[in-house]
């Protein structure tokens, strides 16, 4: 109806939502309110954009597919508080995107699964992002909120929870999308928080720790940094971490401790 002869493009991960109740629920989950500015990524047919525009001050929405130009321009012709930008949000610099806003803004998006993680990490360190509400594949959402010691707990869990407080606000069945995808989804809410250690070092330690999930933390760090096991053992001991544990048993604060004491091993790095 609204879409006339529009052909869904698999390449752009197009699964649209037309259910107004669901769209309103997503906007409620995001907590955005009157006066807020919002960045949406992946306007699609503009259904979520429309509900956002009714609730908040200003919506900027990026859409990569030029075949949606006529539909979107017609739909928002008379809405002064909507700006549609036809561009790839992943390849647009953070600076350029943020130039659309006066100050802080929220992100709300139902976008293709393959760009969710890179997009989250593109924005999460920005001081101007107040919250990120994003639709992800259900299994990915479960990894995002996994508890320490479970098989879902991994690099994504540790990095994301280091940068923000993460929660799932609802599960969305695959039948809610057009066309129907092969997986169920979940709405995830991320509130960026302050972190007090070197992010690059933190990320490096986390990646090396999880390199081989079945290996001990001692072996992974020794192999990953090419540093003798005795040196790594001293570093772990200093932080009260049992060298026989696996990465999935380490809490975020264990990884923060390792980051803060990284100088224990820096002299031995080649």
Residues in touch with ligand SAH (CB under 6 A): 12-17, 41-45, 47-48, 62-65, 88-90, 110-112, 115
Between residues 62 and 202, which has the closer beta carbon with respect to ligand SAH?
Answer: 62
The strand pair at 37-41 and 105-109 is best described as parallel
Length of the chain (residues)? 270
Nearest-approach distance from CB 22 to ligand SAH, in angstroms: 9
Query: Max Cα separation, the chain?
Result: 68
Between residues 28 and 215, which has the closer beta carbon with respect to ligand SAH?
Answer: 28
Q: Which residues contact 200 (CB under 8 A, 6 or more apart)?
A: none
Residues 258, 202: Cα–Cα separation, whole Å: 8
Residues 267, 6: Cα–Cα separation, whole Å: 60
Between residues 36 and 65, which has the closer beta carbon with respect to ligand SAH?
Answer: 65
Helices (H), the chain: 20-30, 47-55, 69-75, 94-98, 113-123, 138-144, 155-163, 199-209, 217-225, 229-238, 252-260, 263-266
Nearest-approach distance from CB 79 to ligand SAH, in angstroms: 16
Between residues 41 and 206, which has the closer beta carbon with respect to ligand SAH?
Answer: 41
Nearest-approach distance from CB 139 to ligand SAH, in angstroms: 19
Nearest-approach distance from CB 113 to ligand SAH, in angstroms: 10
Between residues 63 and 130, which has the closer beta carbon with respect to ligand SAH?
Answer: 63
Side-chain-facing half-sphere of 255: CA atoms under 13 Å: 31
| CA 233 vs CA 19, 212, 216, 237: distances in Å | 55, 18, 11, 6
Residues 158, 143: Cα–Cα separation, whole Å: 10
Nearest-approach distance from CB 16 to ligand SAH, in angstroms: 3
Between residues 73 and 261, which has the closer beta carbon with respect to ligand SAH?
Answer: 73
Between residues 83 and 207, which has the closer beta carbon with respect to ligand SAH?
Answer: 83
Nearest-approach distance from CB 120 to ligand SAH, in angstroms: 13
Residues 267, 263: Cα–Cα separation, whole Å: 7
The position carrying tokens 């309110």 is 33
Nearest-approach distance from CB 23 to ligand SAH, in angstroms: 7
């Amino acid at each position: 109806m609204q879409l006339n002869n529009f052909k869904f493009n698999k390449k752009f991960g197009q699964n649209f939502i037309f259910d107004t109740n669901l769209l309103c629920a997503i906007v409620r989950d995001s907590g955005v309110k009157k006066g807020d500015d919002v960045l949406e990524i992946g306007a699609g047919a503009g259904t979520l954009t429309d509900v956002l525009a009714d609730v908040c001050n200003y919506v900027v929405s990026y859409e990569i597919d030029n075949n949606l130009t006529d539909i979107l321009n017609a739909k928002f012709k008379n809405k002064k508080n909507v700006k549609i930008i036809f561009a790839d949000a992943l390849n647009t610099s953070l600076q350029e995107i943020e130039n659309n806003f006066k100050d802080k803004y929220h992100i709300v998006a139902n976008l293709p699964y393959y760009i969710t993680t890179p997009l989250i990490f593109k924005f999460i360190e920005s001081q101007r992002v107040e919250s990120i509400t994003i639709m992800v594949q259900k299994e990915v959402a479960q990894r995002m909120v996994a508890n320490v010691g479970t098989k879902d707990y991994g690099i994504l869990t540790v990095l994301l929870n280091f940068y923000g407080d993460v929660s799932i606000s609802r599960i969305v069945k695959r039948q809610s999308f057009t066309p129907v995808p092969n997986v169920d989804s979940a709405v995830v809410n991320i509130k960026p928080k302050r972190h007090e250690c070197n992010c690059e070092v933190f990320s490096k330690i986390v990646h090396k720790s999880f390199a081989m999930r079945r290996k001990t933390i001692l072996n992974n760090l020794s192999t990953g940094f090419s540093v003798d096991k005795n040196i790594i053992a001293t570093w772990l001991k200093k932080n009260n971490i049992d060298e026989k544990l696996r990465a999935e048993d380490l809490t975020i604060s264990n990884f923060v401790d390792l980051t803060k004491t990284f100088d224990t091993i820096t002299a031995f790095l080649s």
